[in-house]
């Protein structure tokens, strides 16, 4: 794998295929539903693992070696388990991002050579590259710019609310969205995705209109 350039168009294709195949029609994106559409991927919480393997909290963290979440790949069976931390408090928004990020690693083929937990024995460049690809995937999946554009996003807070992201993730996404706006490159599958969101977009526009009317009535 060439680790110098992020495969933007490949990742965009993977994300758009998910939107089309699963007929996604609204924000916020239901990430658990997306993951459960893959027969060979399971989501397991740290607490479930702790009970199953009879581990202490410390042993669980040692076994999983990540604060947020991670993935195990069983190469022979071509099966994945995504683990997420539910032991320490993590907001729903953060868990959503973590799950999507792990799915990104899987679908970008980052595990093909590995059988066990990712991230050790990688060079710094490889690690950064894989993280950047997984984050690019996550941003597109959870806050697709073609939909943000139709929602008339004006701030990172808008993204936070519509897409149910943490403020930190929403700020990062807003910066990316502003870059996207410079070209507004839209493909035919993007147009298909926007059509699927039509009812949702109308609902949002209506809600906004009612809100403005209400505010003006004072």
Footprint of Zn ion on this chain (CB under 5 A)? 134
Residue nearest Zn ion (C-beta atom): 134
Q: Which is nearer to Zn ion, 113 or 183 (CB)?
A: 113
Q: Dihedral angle at the C-alpha atoms of 145, 147, 150, 155, nearest 10 degrees?
A: -50
Q: What is the largest CA-CA distance in the chain?
A: 66
CB of 97 to Zn ion, least distance (A): 11
Q: Which is nearer to Zn ion, 82 or 193 (CB)?
A: 82
Q: Which is nearer to Zn ion, 119 or 161 (CB)?
A: 119
Q: Which is nearer to Zn ion, 116 or 209 (CB)?
A: 116
CB of 81 to Zn ion, least distance (A): 15
212, 205 in Cβ contact below 8 A? no
CB of 137 to Zn ion, least distance (A): 10
Q: Which two tokens stand for residue 192?
A: 């298909």
CB of 111 to Zn ion, least distance (A): 11
24, 196 in Cβ contact below 8 A? yes
CB of 2 to Zn ion, least distance (A): 19
Q: Which is nearer to Zn ion, 11 or 134 (CB)?
A: 134
CB of 105 to Zn ion, least distance (A): 6
CB of 130 to Zn ion, least distance (A): 6
Rounded to the nearest angstrom, the gap between the alpha carbon of residue 198 and the centroid of all alpha carbons in its chain is 22
């Amino acid at each position: 794998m060439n680790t110098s350039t992020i495969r933007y168009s490949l990742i965009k294709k993977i994300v758009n295929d998910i939107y089309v195949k699963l007929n996604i029609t609204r924000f916020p994106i239901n990430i658990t539903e997306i993951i459960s559409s893959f027969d060979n991927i399971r989501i397991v919480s740290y607490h479930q693992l702790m009970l199953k393997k009879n581990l202490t909290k410390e042993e669980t963290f040692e076994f999983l070696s990540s604060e947020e979440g991670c993935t195990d790949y069983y190469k022979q069976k071509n099966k994945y388990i995504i683990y997420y931390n539910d032991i320490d408090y993590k907001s729903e928004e953060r868990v959503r991002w973590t799950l999507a990020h792990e799915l990104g690693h899987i679908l970008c083929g980052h595990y093909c050579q590995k059988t066990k937990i990712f991230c050790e024995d990688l060079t710094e460049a490889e690690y950064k590259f894989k993280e950047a690809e997984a984050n690019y995937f996550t941003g597109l999946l959870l806050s697709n710019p073609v939909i943000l554009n139709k929602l008339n996003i004006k701030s990172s807070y808008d993204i936070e609310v519509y897409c149910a992201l943490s403020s930190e993730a929403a700020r990062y996404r807003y910066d990316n969205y502003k870059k996207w706006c410079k070209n507004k490159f839209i493909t035919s599958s993007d147009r298909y995705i926007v059509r699927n969101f039509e009812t949702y977009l109308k609902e949002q526009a209506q809600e906004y209109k009612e809100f403005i009317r209400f505010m003006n009535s004072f």
